[in-house]
């Protein structure tokens, strides 16, 4: 168990200490949400909840932490004792991992004493932001591959060890079939994948000898890297020779080849022809080399003969947009026994937060099973599936749509109640299947890369009115 309690922005501790100093520890509600989808995409994918849960369950401030904090000469001894005895007592609800998520809806809600809410901010954001970033990117790459396999190959370019491990986990949720990172096979049962590097081939006198040696070690799973010298003139002929000389006589086949450079469309088509002509119609062609959803889309459109895409640095760092901008904002605070909605007003209207204690519903059309819209409501509201529901755009309230014949699913699952875990954590395989199933509820128009159709995240009439009232109130006071 790693003690990550000090992985916390220092201001969380100075604020907490000041709250403590002023005997201020009212019940608060914080919403974790994000404002825009990476890569200007139409949807994001929730991930990281399991690690966020683990963090909360293991959170404690040990003597070493307290001794260290004391050296800062900023913290009240009473506060340090409070930390030493810290026990998380908040309610937490969150959207399940693998669910498509959208801007400006709460994906996690923490409710409890404000000091506790504040102390978990950094790690909750860090955990959810990272894995949701990678799950979102991967979901796009898998979508681009149109049913072909995607393999996660990025460890060596990941931003640190956790990025390699938890990044592979997020990628698996979003549909890769395995990872080159052995640790995630051992720890998460994500299938480990991989064959050979160019150095293996170079270490033999010639390519044929290298291929033969590899085939002898792995006759049941021979996958050969064919581009060290020349894919067409050397790699493929040698791979086919090894099949004919060694594998075929043993009743084995050549399982696959990998091409890591050159014109992947041309080379894969040519490789397919050569393999088919050699009686190797079942041999799989894997390609790699700085791939992402855009390049894969092009390869597929050009009719490249590719069975699997090995994707590295552009997935594991989400290179085209390496930040998932989750934020954690105060939504309500208890005052004299009443929960008072709070809102952060901003000159930038999209940065104005949604106040109050809220619920989140996703409406699915009963006949198509497609998601129609998400609706954020006050905590006290219930959406009745048996009555038509009037959706309206919170920014353009005259744009309205009456929907009926829908299922309304409440998305925020209870995770902790008074600090106690009440959530039955699904397995990684369950999360992965659930993600796949949920992706089928989104229209292709929402999933496309260029100018995706904006999915509706609406506010209930009551929440919208509350927000307007608060805006007016703040405007008057400023």
Site string for a second copy, 153-182 (x = CB under 8 A): x-xxxxxxxxxxxxx------------xxx
Nearest residue (CB) to a second copy, 297 versus 352:
352
CB atoms within 10 A of CB 398: 6
Q: Cα(first)–Cα(last) distance of the chain, in Å? A: 49
Q: How far is the CB of 392 from a second copy (least distance, A)?
A: 28
Q: What is the pairing mode between strands 256-259 and 284-288?
A: parallel
Q: Which of 36, 253, 261, 297 binds a second copy (CB under 8 A)?
A: 261
Stretch of residues binding a second copy (CB under 8 A), selected from 16-24, 295-303, 404-412, 437-445: 16-24
Instruction: Tell me how far apart the alpha carbons of residues 292 and 290 are, in angstroms, rounded to a whole number.
Output: 7
* Binding residues for a second copy restricted to 88-107, rule: CB under 8 A: none
The residue count for binding a second copy (CB under 8 A) is 103
Using alpha carbons only, what angle is made at residue 421 by residues 45 and 333, rounded to the nearest 5 degrees?
80
* By the rule CB under 8 A, 350 interacts with a second copy: no
Query: 104, 132, 228, 354: which one contacts a second copy (CB under 8 A)?
Result: 228
Q: Tokens at residue 244, please? A: 């004919």
Nearest approach in angstroms of CB 290 to a second copy is 9
What is the spatial distance between Cα 417 and Cα 119, in angstroms, rounded to a whole number?
17
The span from the CA of 348 to the CA of 354, in Å, is: 14
Residue closer to a second copy by CB (options 230, 410) is 230
- Helix axes 10-21 and 77-84, enclosed angle (nearest 10): 110
Which residue number, 87 or 233, has a Cβ lying nearer to a second copy? Answer: 233
On the CB side of 352, CA atoms within 13 Å amount to: 16
Write the burial class of residue 232 (CB in 10 Å: 0-12 exposed, 13-18 middle, 19+ buried). Answer: middle
Q: Does 462 bind a second copy (CB under 8 A)?
A: no
Instruction: State whether the Cα torsion 273-197-169-264 is positive or negative.
Output: negative
Q: Nearest approach, Cβ of 277 to a second copy (angstroms)? A: 22
Q: Which of the ranges 89-97, 310-318, 392-400, 424-432 carries the binding residues for a second copy, by CB under 8 A?
A: 310-318
Contact of 121 with 328, CB cutoff 8 Å:
yes
**What does the DSSP 8-state code read for residue 452?**
P
Region binding a second copy by CB under 8 A among candidate stretches 141-149, 190-198, 364-372, 395-403: 190-198
What kind and span of H or E run contains 403?
Answer: strand 400-403
How far apart are CB 340 and a second copy at their closest, in Å? 10
Strand residue runs (E) in 243-388: 256-259, 284-288, 308-311, 326-335, 338-341, 358-365, 371-378
The site string for a second copy over 383-402 (x = CB under 8 A, - otherwise) reads --------------------
Q: In this complex, which beta carbon is closest to a second copy, that of residue 322 or of residue 404?
A: 322
Cα distance between residue 312 and residue 194, in whole Å: 12
Q: Is 365 helix (H, G, I), strand (E, B) or coil?
A: strand
**Is residue 347 involved in binding a second copy (CB under 8 A)?**
yes
Q: Are strands 91-95 and 412-417 parallel, antiparallel or unpaired?
A: antiparallel
Residue 183 touches a second copy, criterion: CB under 8 A: yes
Is residue 114 close enough to count as binding a second copy by CB under 8 A?
yes
Q: Which is nearer to a second copy, 203 or 380 (CB)?
A: 203
Q: What are phi and psi of 452, to 5 degrees?
A: -60, 150
| Contact pattern for a second copy over residues 314 through 343, marking x by CB under 8 A | x--xxx-xxxxxx--xx--x--------x-
Closest CB to a second copy among 213 and 408? 213
Query: Residue 307, SS3?
Result: coil
Nearer to a second copy, 29 or 375 (CB): 29
10 binds a second copy (CB under 8 A): yes
The answer to whether residue 26 forms part of the interface with a second copy (CB under 8 A) is yes
Under the criterion CB under 8 A, does residue 38 sit at the interface with a second copy? no
Q: Which residues pair with 285 in a beta bridge?
A: 257
Give min distance, CB of 324 to a second copy, in A: 7
Candidates 60, 244, 313, 449; binder of a second copy (CB under 8 A) is 313
d(CA 41, CA 454): 9
C-alpha 67: how far from chain center: 36
Q: Which is nearer to a second copy, 72 or 146 (CB)?
A: 72
Give least dist CB 395 to a second copy, A: 20
What string marks each residue from 264 to 303 as x (binds a second copy by CB under 8 A) or -? ----------------------------------------
CA distance linking residue 193 with residue 177, whole number of Å: 9
Q: How far is the CB of 333 from a second copy (least distance, A)?
A: 6
């Amino acid at each position: 168990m790693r003690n990550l309690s000090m992985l916390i922005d220092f201001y969380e501790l100075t604020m907490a200490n000041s709250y403590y100093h002023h005997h201020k520890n009212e019940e608060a509600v914080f919403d974790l949400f994000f404002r825009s989808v990476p890569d200007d995409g139409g949807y994001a994918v929730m991930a990281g909840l399991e690690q966020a849960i683990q963090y909360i369950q293991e959170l404690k401030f040990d003597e070493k932490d307290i001794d260290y904090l004391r050296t800062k000469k900023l913290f009240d001894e009473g506060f340090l004792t409070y930390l030493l005895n810290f026990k998380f007592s908040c309610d937490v609800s969150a959207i399940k991992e693998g669910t498509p998520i959208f801007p400006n809806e709460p994906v996690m809600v923490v409710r409890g004493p404000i000091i506790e809410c504040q102390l978990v901010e950094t790690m909750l954001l860090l955990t959810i932001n990272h894995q949701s970033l990678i799950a979102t990117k991967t979901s796009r790459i898998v979508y681009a591959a149109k049913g072909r396999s995607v393999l996660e190959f990025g460890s060596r370019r990941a931003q640190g060890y956790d990025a390699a491990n938890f990044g592979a986990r997020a990628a698996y949720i979003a549909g890769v079939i395995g990872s080159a990172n052995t640790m995630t096979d051992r720890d998460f049962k994500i299938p480990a994948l991989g064959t050979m590097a160019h150095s293996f081939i170079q270490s033999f006198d010639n390519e044929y000898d290298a291929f033969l040696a590899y085939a002898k070690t792995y006759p049941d799973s021979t996958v050969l890297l064919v581009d060290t010298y020349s894919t067409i003139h050397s790699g493929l002929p040698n791979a086919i020779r090894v099949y004919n000389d060694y594998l075929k006589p043993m009743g084995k086949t050549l399982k696959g080849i990998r091409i890591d450079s050159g014109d992947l469309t041309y080379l894969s088509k040519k490789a397919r022809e050569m393999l088919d002509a050699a009686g190797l119609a079942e041999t799989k062609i894997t390609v790699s080399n700085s791939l992402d959803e855009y390049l894969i889309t092009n390869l597929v459109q050009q009719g490249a003969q590719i069975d699997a895409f090995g994707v590295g640095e552009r997935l594991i760092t989400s290179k085209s947009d390496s930040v998932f901008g989750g934020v954690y904002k105060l939504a309500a605070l208890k005052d004299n026994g009443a929960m008072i909605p709070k809102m952060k007003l901003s000159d930038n209207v999209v940065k104005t937060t949604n106040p109050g204690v809220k619920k989140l519903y996703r409406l699915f059309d009963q006949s198509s099973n497609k998601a129609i819209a998400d609706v954020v409501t006050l905590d006290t509201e219930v959406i009745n599936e048996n009555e038509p529901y009037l959706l309206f755009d919170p920014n353009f309230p005259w744009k309205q749509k009456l929907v009926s014949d829908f299922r309304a699913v409440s998305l925020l699952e209870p995770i902790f109640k008074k600090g106690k875990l009440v959530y039955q954590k699904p397995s990684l395989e369950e999360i992965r299947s659930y993600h796949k199933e949920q992706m089928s509820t989104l229209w292709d128009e929402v999933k496309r890369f260029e100018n995706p159709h904006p999915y509706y995240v609406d506010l209930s009439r009551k929440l919208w009115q509350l927000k307007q009232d608060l805006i007016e109130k703040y405007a008057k006071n400023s």
